[in-house]
Chains A and B, each alone.
Chain A
Amino acid sequence: MIQISHLSKSFTLNRQQKKELGTTQNSVLAVDDISFECLPGRVHALLGPNGAGKTTTLRMLSTIFKPTKGTILIDNVDAVKDPQEARKHIGFLTGSAGLYARLTPNELISYFGELYGVPKNDIEMRKKKLYDLLDMHDFQNKRIGKLSTGMKQKVSICRTMIHDPQVVIFDEPTSGLDVITAENIIQLIRDCKNQGKTVIFSSHIMGEVDLLCDDITIIHKGKVLYNDTMEAFRAQQQAPNLTAEFIRIVNDQKTELA
């Protein structure tokens, strides 16, 4: 379970960043007092246009960034006060994350298993299970740098799941992937849901959201615009489809601000 309460994050700007952003302010507020909950056995979509604060929020959830204000509970562990303990419960998969090209999948998965404190015997057992599931046996000892994008994505999934996390964070996991590779991720998210894990998922692709998600939070300019179940979202829908509805909500807020 993930419980986010009054979460904010501001970044201090250096001289060059101020120049690039064309601002004289010393800091920028990326996430502004957001609160929502993600429940076990459900997939929670986090949506928002570019620069809305999705990645910053997910980075705070995965404890890479420390919030400026607010609290995050990951399976009842305070992720702000005890990030190390919280990380044991989290699996984090992003579309942009790279892999160590000079290692083999076997070496990489074992390394992350060790970092997560999984006992050696369990690492081998879980590796076999994941390799079977993802059909990875053929390339487990090849250097990652020589693998195809699809194979690499399978390695990323394996790395994310090696410690069997209860909370899985997906940050645009299918961006830039072909249909077949993206399907592996979709299947993984379904499996996580069926296993009763808490899944939070950010994407630009409304079709994926419609297919997978049970709950939805839309954020824009760091603020929550909408937070409810997908059922409720569909029920209140005014536009002809989900994408148009998402655009309508974001535009309404822009008009309100203007």
Chain B
Amino acid sequence: MIFTVFKKELRDTLRDRRTIMMMIVIPTLVFPLIMSVFMSVSESFQKEAAEKKVKIGLVSNQVGSLEADLLKVPETLGKREFIPFTDTLSLVRAIRADSIQVGIYVPNNAEQLKEAMKPISVTVFHDGTDLGMKERADAYLTYIQENWKKERYAELKIDEAKITPFILAHSNVASSKEMIGKLAGGFLPYLFIAFGFMGCMFPAIDLFTGEKERSTIETLLTTPVPRWKILFGKMGVVVLSGLLAATFNLLGIYLSIEVFNMVKDPVVLQAIKDILSPTFIIMLYALLCPLIIFFAGIMIPIAVRAKSFKEAQSIISPLNLLIILPAMVGFFPGVELNEVTALIPVVNIVLATKELIAGTLEWHLVAMAFGVMVLLAVIAILLSYRKFENENNVIS
């Protein structure tokens, strides 16, 4: 009988346009859309940055070597145009007015200091909110500084290697998969959780409050089917809707990579392909199942008690925030699954999924997180059962 109820409710739910939007259309499209917006924005920024001619104000009373070298900096470091200024005050005003993007102040005695092989204090004026401009000026000056150093070593007949105590090199032992998992891995569980929740919401309201509002529940309760079986049949559809929303989200990621070729970087592409392995998908569902049952189990008692669709929606919708905020914890790179975070609902599943993406799972912590969610799912089911058994809640 549970399956009979389940089958009917699923058919009914799949014919509801609102549910189809929340369960299939939006979850499938959201990742390709985010990716396409992100890519077009980042491509246009890169293009603009490469093509943009940065106007650099130069305060200098003489035309010395530094000024001459600045004009000779290769264009591979970025296009630029130098504009002379007489004082720093007008230079600052011009930066604030955005008529120039950055300014360089060279002291009057620069040439003498250079000849005496003493350091010149060069000041770069910039607007901190105009990203990348300070770095552009730094790059030009560093280029010149490196060239001058080489000239001085030669002039002083110093072997550069002899005054270099060590050469520092960095070797990243984390694989690309780990890097993506730890730094950006929080984004995926966030999407799965958010859509899992939203996927449950409309069916939960429709199958419980909706039945009350449309007065169809009365006839259902006169059939010789125990109420718990009716509840389980309906709950099964709510849970399935949540899981389907997460699945279509996953499908959206797959489409972005395999069909729309949105990820161009071969290293990142390979890392994402490694992440989306069958083991990952099975593990992901194992973690999502109790979480989605928990979601269904907190929505159903509200939906059972509510007198109208509007009332149920007005209570359940703010719950979305309560779920999304802990789900955002995964965005912070330093937060990891440990004995404490494994006990916090939602946070534990986000962090466990993050570890799963990075391939750095600690099984006892995952088991703890899974156990906590299973326990909460059972409590939520019992609460739903209690509310659904109460005739005052079910009949309006």
Chain A positions within 8 Å of B392 at CB level: 11-12
Residue pair B222, A64 in contact (C-beta under 8 Å): yes
What 0/1 readout, one digit per residue, does chain B (7-18) give for beta carbons within 8 Å of chain A? 010011001100
Please give the distance in Å from A202's CB to the nearest CB on chain B.
Answer: 14
Measured CA separation A112–B219 after assembly (Å): 9
Of B16, B219, B224, which is within 8 A of A159 by CB? B219
A207 within 8 A of B: no
Measured CA separation A255–B392 after assembly (Å): 33
Given A102-B15, A102-B16, A103-B8, A66 and B391 touching (CB < 8 A)?
yes
B135 within 8 A of A: no
A-B contact count (CB 8 A): 70
Chain B positions within 8 Å of A115 at CB level: 1, 4-5, 220, 223-225
Of residues 151 through 189 on chain A, the ones whose CB sits less than 8 Å from some CB of chain B are: 159
Measured CA separation A116–B222 after assembly (Å): 9
Please give the distance in Å from A14's CB to the nearest CB on chain B.
Answer: 9
Residue pair A117, B224 in contact (C-beta under 8 Å): yes
Given A64-B222, A115-B224, A159-B219, A98 and B391 touching (CB < 8 A)?
no
Chain B positions within 8 Å of A65 at CB level: 391, 395
Residue pair A97, B219 in contact (C-beta under 8 Å): yes
Residue pair B215, A87 in contact (C-beta under 8 Å): no
Interface-side segment among A35-43, A88-96, A239-247: A88-96
Of residues 230 through 262 on chain B, the ones whose CB sits less than 8 Å from some CB of chain A are: none
B221 within 8 A of A: yes
Given A87-B222, A102-B15, A111 and B215 touching (CB < 8 A)?
no
Q: Give the number of residues in B that approach A within 8 Å (Cβ atoms).
A: 23
Residue pair B12, A100 in contact (C-beta under 8 Å): yes
A101 within 8 A of B: yes
Of A84, A88, A114, A117, which is within 8 A of B226 by CB? A84
Residue of A62, A84, A96, A111 with most partner-chain B CB within 10 A: A111
Chain B positions within 8 Å of A12 at CB level: 392
Residue pair A63, B216 in contact (C-beta under 8 Å): no
Please give the distance in Å from B140's CB to the nearest CB on chain A.
Answer: 68
Measured CB to CB, the nearest residue on chain B to A143 is: B15
A210 within 8 A of B: no
Chain A positions within 8 Å of B11 at CB level: 102-103, 107
Residue pair A97, B218 in contact (C-beta under 8 Å): yes
Please give the distance in Å from A111's CB to the nearest CB on chain B.
Answer: 5
B162 within 8 A of A: no
Measured CB to CB, the nearest residue on chain A to B5 is: A115
Of residues 32 through 91 on chain A, the ones whose CB sits less than 8 Å from some CB of chain B are: 59, 62-66, 84-85, 87-88, 90
Residue pair B223, A87 in contact (C-beta under 8 Å): yes
Measured CB to CB, the nearest residue on chain B to A107 is: B11
Given A65-B395, A66-B391, A115-B4, A101 and B219 touching (CB < 8 A)?
no
Residue pair B216, A100 in contact (C-beta under 8 Å): yes
Measured CB to CB, the nearest residue on chain B to A91 is: B222
Measured CA separation A12–B11 after assembly (Å): 37
Chain A positions within 8 Å of B5 at CB level: 115
Measured CB to CB, the nearest residue on chain A to B206 is: A102
Measured CB to CB, the nearest residue on chain A to B219 is: A97
B47 within 8 A of A: no
Residue of B8, B11, B223 with most partner-chain A CB within 10 A: B223
Of B12, B225, B395, which is within 8 A of A59 by CB? B395
Of B4, B221, B226, B395, which is within 8 A of A111 by CB? B4
Residue pair A97, B223 in contact (C-beta under 8 Å): no
Residue of A94, A96, A114, A115 with most partner-chain B CB within 10 A: A115
Measured CA separation A102–B210 after assembly (Å): 12
Given A12-B392, A66-B391, A96-B215, A111 and B8 touching (CB < 8 A)?
yes
A249 within 8 A of B: no
Please give the distance in Å from A116's CB to the nearest CB on chain B.
Answer: 6
Please give the distance in Å from B371's CB to the nearest CB on chain A.
Answer: 35
Chain B positions within 8 Å of A114 at CB level: 1, 4
Measured CA separation A116–B16 after assembly (Å): 26
Question: What are 7 of the A-B contact pairs (CB < 8 Å)?
Answer: A11-B392, A64-B395, A65-B391, A92-B222, A112-B219, A115-B5, A116-B224
Query: Contact residues of B with A, CB < 8 Å?
Result: 1, 4-5, 8, 11-12, 15-16, 214-216, 218-226, 391-392, 395
